Structure 1
Amino acid sequence: MEEIPLEHILLLSAALFSLGVMAVITKRHAVVVLMGIELIFNAANLNLVAFSRYDATLMQGQLFSLFVMVVAAAEAAVALAIVLRVYQYFRTANLNQINQLNK
């Protein structure tokens, strides 16, 4: 089986990261912004696993990638709970229309 070059994996990771940043910057729907953040996390994980694969004696990249996945899952759960509460209060998930915070 042919090994995938590191450059191809890094290009894919850069594309995922770019798409995530574009989603965070350009979109105003809270759920789409959260999906962009998840794309950024996945791009970082792909880099960690790719570099770990090319140094077979060290497993820090894969272990750190697992840690990032756990943090991302917790972040997604908390963020979605916040989005649901904000939607209940403001009746919108559009970030441009949510411009006040009350006690």
Structure 2
Amino acid sequence: MSVPGSWYLILAAVLFGVGAFGLLVRRNILIMFMCLELMLNAVNLTLVTYSRMLNDIAGQVSVFFVLVVAAAEVVVGLGLIVAIFRGKRQVTADDLHVLRG
């Protein structure tokens, strides 16, 4: 018994929607960061689903590159968040003007 590919696509759409909603509504930069990662994982799920449905490995190769870019984004983003957090004890999206110098 196999799960149809359309269910995975629906799940990916829901995850992407939750991530987009959280990114637009929340003000805490860490929560926004996690929502962005949720959106990237939803895209990865979509790529893997289409790769399996089409019997093509190109989608899985694309997922590898998306994961590498996401890891680099986490390193840079968390470095910026820690730099802001050291000056203040609260990190919100409005505090990004501190990085101007």
Q: Compute the TM-score of the two structures, normalised by the length of structure 1.
A: 0.90
Task: Give the whole-Å Cα distance in 1 for the aligned partners of 2:58 and 2:73.
Answer: 22
Query: Once the 2 structures are TM-superposed, how far is the Cα of residue 81 of structure 1 from its aligned partner?
Result: 0.7
Q: In structure 2, what is the equivalent of residue 18 of structure 1? A: 17
Q: In structure 1, what is the equivalent of residue 97 of structure 2? A: 100
Q: In structure 2, what is the equivalent of residue 73 of structure 1? A: 71
Letter in 2 for 1:76: V
Letter in 2 for 1:83: I
Structure 1 runs of 4+ with >4 Å offset = none
CA RMSD of aligned residues (A): 1.3
Letter in 1 for 2:50: F
Query: Once the 2 structures are TM-superposed, how far is the Cα of residue 91 of structure 1 from its aligned partner?
Result: 2.8
Q: Work out the percentage of aligned pairs sharing the same amino acid.
A: 32
**Would you say how many aligned residue pairs link Structure 1 and Structure 2?**
100
Query: Once the 2 structures are TM-superposed, how far is the Cα of residue 100 of structure 1 from its aligned partner?
Result: 3.4
